[in-house]
């Protein structure tokens, strides 16, 4: 349960922290640099010798799945999410991306990893409705950013389901290290072919607030956040783990209340109650033990 809560708190800050950086850096470049910092985080984390020993024993199938995870997550899904943040409000991007559990349930059921039930369907639908209720007051708009966010949610759902199979036999640290490498390489090739710049705007080195936000996205959101997320997936089912994204808008709003002095609205209270009902309908007692 600790990993679930930590992941929720860390991931809830992504859109809010990255939005102010969008005028100064291309979404693909931001994704490249934050995953590069995440890779460094895993590379120098204590116990690297044991991880290299585990990596040396990977089968061809392991390498293929880790490449697929990196390609889907670090390259495609997260780049689309940053495009969504740039082209819409953080509220819109977060709300739509948080429909992720619905896609996870569909893909998990098709793949045979999870049994679908009326209770889960009702819970997810209530949860998705709650997300829109919470975010409506914060400027929810349908535009190109919404399309990017939906695409990111679907692809990240595929990543979540595939991760369950991978982390069942490979430690989360090793999964992140190798998949991040493949994601960074894929993203680098794409950026080079399309002429996108890797350079950082000088403002990042002059404005300490932007520099701190940039480093936070790399080492905390992309580094520590993915450790706790994969640990959650390993312990629980893909659908249960993806509830992090259903609860994320409510937590992000609480952050705004605590750190920015915003007041709770009737939209938030109603949506939060709906989230509790939806989550309770989906999650088995096991996750709370």
Label residue 188 by pLDDT band (50, 70, 90). very high
pLDDT for 146 equals 75
**Mean pLDDT, range 191-199, rounded to an integer:** 92
pLDDT for 287 equals 42
pLDDT for 246 equals 67
Residue matched to tokens 């409506």: 136
List the structure tokens of 180. 């991040």
Q: Tell me the percentage of the chain whose pLDDT exceeds 70.
A: 83
Least confident of 48-52, 103-107, 141-145: 141-145
List the structure tokens of 288. 């709370």
pLDDT for 68 equals 95
Q: Do 78 and 172 contact (CB within 8 A), yes or no?
A: no
pLDDT for 122 equals 83
pLDDT: is 129 or 268 the higher one? 129
pLDDT for 286 equals 42
In the predicted structure, residue 260 carries a pLDDT above the cut 60: no
**Mean pLDDT, range 144-165, rounded to an integer:** 85
Per-residue pLDDT tens over the stretch 221-236: 998 888 888 888 777 7
Segments making up each domain of the chain, as ranges: 2-288
Considering the chain, what is the average pLDDT of its residues? 81
The rounded distance, in Å, linking the Cα atoms of 48 and 289 is 31
pLDDT for 289 equals 43
In the predicted structure, residue 288 carries a pLDDT above the cut 50: no
The rounded distance, in Å, linking the Cα atoms of 152 and 81 is 6
pLDDT for 259 equals 66
Indicate the length of the chain as a whole number: 289
pLDDT for 1 equals 72
Say which DSSP state 202 is in: T
**Mean pLDDT, range 101-122, rounded to an integer:** 77
Task: Give me the phi and psi of 116, to 5 degrees please.
Answer: -85, 150
**Cα angle at 251 between 250 and 257, to 5 degrees?**
95
In the predicted structure, residue 76 carries a pLDDT above the cut 90: yes
Distances (CA, A) of 269 to 4, 138, 224: 22, 14, 30
Cα 33 → chain centroid: 16
pLDDT for 182 equals 96
Label residue 238 by pLDDT band (50, 70, 90). low
Least confident of 38-52, 69-83, 233-247: 233-247
pLDDT: is 44 or 141 the higher one? 44
Q: With both helix axes pointing from N to C terminus, report the angle between 144-167 and 90-97 in degrees, rounded to the nearest 10.
A: 40
**Mean pLDDT, range 196-211, rounded to an integer:** 89
Residue matched to tokens 């950026």: 191
**Cα angle at 221 between 217 and 226, to 5 degrees?**
145
Q: Is 59 exposed, middle or buried (0-12, 13-18, 19+ CB in 10 A)?
A: exposed
Other beta carbons within 10 Å of 134: 27
Burial 188-204 (b: 16+ CB within 10 A, else e): beebeeeebeeeebeeb
For the CA atoms of 30, 36, 38, 41, the dihedral, rounded to the nearest 10 degrees, stands at -140
In the predicted structure, residue 91 carries a pLDDT above the cut 70: no
Per-residue pLDDT tens over the stretch 126-148: 877 877 776 676 566 666 777 88
pLDDT for 212 equals 93
Least confident of 6-20, 102-116, 162-176, 244-258: 244-258
């Amino acid at each position: 349960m600790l990993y679930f809560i930590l992941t929720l708190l860390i991931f809830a800050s992504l859109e809010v922290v990255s939005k102010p950086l969008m005028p100064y850096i291309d979404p693909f470049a931001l994704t490249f640099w934050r995953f590069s910092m995440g890779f460094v985080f895993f590379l120098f984390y204590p116990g690297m010798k044991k991880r290299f020993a585990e990596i040396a024993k990977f089968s061809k199938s392991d390498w293929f799945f880790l490449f697929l995870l990196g390609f889907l997550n670090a390259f495609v899904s997260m780049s689309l999410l940053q495009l969504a943040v740039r082209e819409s409000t953080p509220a819109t991007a977060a709300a739509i991306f948080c429909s992720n559990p619905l896609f996870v349930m569909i893909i998990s059921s098709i793949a045979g990893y999870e049994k679908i039930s009326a209770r889960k369907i009702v819970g997810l639908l209530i949860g998705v409705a709650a997300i829109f209720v919470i975010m409506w007051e914060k400027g929810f708009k349908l535009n190109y950013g919404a399309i990017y966010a939906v695409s990111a949610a679907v692809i990240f759902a595929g990543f979540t389901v595939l991760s369950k199979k991978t982390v069942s036999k490979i430690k989360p640290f090793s999964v992140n290290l190798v998949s991040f490498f493949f994601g960074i390489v894929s993203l680098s090739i794409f950026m080079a072919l399309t002429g996108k710049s890797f350079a950082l705007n000088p403002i990042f080195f002059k404005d300490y607030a932007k520099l701190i936000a940039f480093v936070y996205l790399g080492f905390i959101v992309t580094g520590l956040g993915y450790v706790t997320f994969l640990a959650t997936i390993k312990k629980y089912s893909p659908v249960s783990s993806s509830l992090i994204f259903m609860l994320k808008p409510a937590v992000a709003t609480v952050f705004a209340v605590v750190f920015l002095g915003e007041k709770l609205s009737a939209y938030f209270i109603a949506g939060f109650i709906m989230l509790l009902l939806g989550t309770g309908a989906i999650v088995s007692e096991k996750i709370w033990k």
